[in-house]
Amino acid sequence: MTEEITRRRLAGGIGAALGVSWIGPLAAASRTAAVPAASGPIRLSANENPYGPSAAAREAIARSAEIGHRYPDALADEIVAAIAAKHRVPAETVVLGCGSSQILQMADAAFLGPGKKVVAAEPTFEAVLAYAAVLHADAVKVPETAAFRHDLDRMAAACDAATGLVYVCNPNNPTGTVVSGKDLAAFLRRVPATTTVLVDEAYHDFVEDPGYRSALELVPEFPNVVVARTFSKIYGLAGMRLGYAVGTPEKIRSLREFASWDNVNAAALSAALASLQDAGLVPERRRVMNGTRRWLCAELDRAGHRYIPSEANFLMIDVGGDVAPVIAAFRARGIHVGRRFASMGTWLRVSVGKPEEMRAFSDAFREIVPARRTA
């Protein structure tokens, strides 16, 4: 399911959650707080890039109107060629999607169905599991380790001849933790060759952990691997909806069978092409946004709050009690934070915004959640 759908479902249950006693007075007080004015709420809820498209991408979007009356087949071929060149793979090993979420849906359709199983960590991004339910496939959720990482041993043990798909979100949403390249390779050696392993690298460009390795490097050795990427995060194009997958020609043909016709648009393709051609964009965005995340971590350290070290553009913070009233208290202040994850009910996910937005979040957090450091 999409972030927006989940947020709408969550909103229906917040009222009941406000009855939780540990934060009652704070939540009650926050309901009268002023919401930021005309600029609208501070959105730190969906792991979006607050800086949006680059200047070059914005110009490309505007120019795309000139060909808005034409189907963008040539543009699609051009961006596929650019992606293939970036990853040094043949063009036939790349397929586009309307956001990487459509890539996940295509993978479910290609490799799952009644009698088939999908194995995934718990918690993780839920889209693959939601699409699997529609296909009447069985979901096997494997709890993460005490360090909030994929339990690869248990995930491998859960695979059998009926397992059509294994989903590895790396870095993982919502925990922000990564599977190392060494551990991923060892895991792939244990998964049946008949099982497709879908590695979702939506947050790949934020990673600084030296032990991390993109699964793209492993495709030649493990032809059952498919890698999903997106232009939504580091490139700031979430609203434009463009993602892609890389795999063997056979795997990509299987995905392409379930792509809707003309599933990409001229504006998104133009913006993505301009973004790929801007060599300084990714390192600069990574520097700025990871720096802002580190600033927030330092603020939390000073107050004694526990958080999960993250390799993505979001952070999970333990609020010490049911997170639902905390989410509501932030919303009352005009700050939208992440949804509640059932298996991590005391943890708050906050996306990295601009420095001034994170200062507003930090100020509100101090009011809503008591500091834990003792004298």
177 close to 148: Cβ distance less than 8 angstroms: yes
Q: What angle do CA 334, 337, 340 make, to 5 degrees?
A: 130
pLDDT at 370: 85
73 backbone dihedrals φ, ψ, rounded to 5°: -60, -45
For domain 55-276, the CATH architecture is 3-Layer(aba) Sandwich (3.40)
DSSP, residue by residue, 113-136? -TT-EEEEEESS-SHHHHHHHHTT
What span, in angstroms and rounded, lies between the C-alpha atoms of 180 and 152? Answer: 11
Per residue in 119-155, pLDDT (tens digit) is: 999 999 999 999 999 999 999 999 999 999 999 999 9
71 close to 366: Cβ distance less than 8 angstroms: no
- pTM for this structure? 0.89
Mean pLDDT of 37-45: 82
How many C-beta atoms lie closer than 10 Å to residue 52's C-beta? 14
The angle that helices 323-332 and 355-368 make with each other, rounded to 10 degrees, is: 120
Q: Binning pLDDT at 50, 70 and 90, where does residue 31 land?
A: very low
Mean pLDDT of 245-271: 97
Q: Binning pLDDT at 50, 70 and 90, where does residue 374 land?
A: very low
Q: Which residues pair with 43 in a beta bridge?
A: 336
63 backbone dihedrals φ, ψ, rounded to 5°: -70, -25
* Cα 177 from chain centre: 12
**Residue 334, by phi and psi: left (phi above 0), alpha (psi -120 to 50) or beta?**
left
Domain range summary for the chain, segments of one domain joined by +? 3-52+281-368, 55-276
Q: 3-52+281-368 maps to which CATH number?
A: 3.90.1150.10
Q: How confident is the prediction for the chain on average, in pLDDT?
A: 91
pLDDT at 196: 98
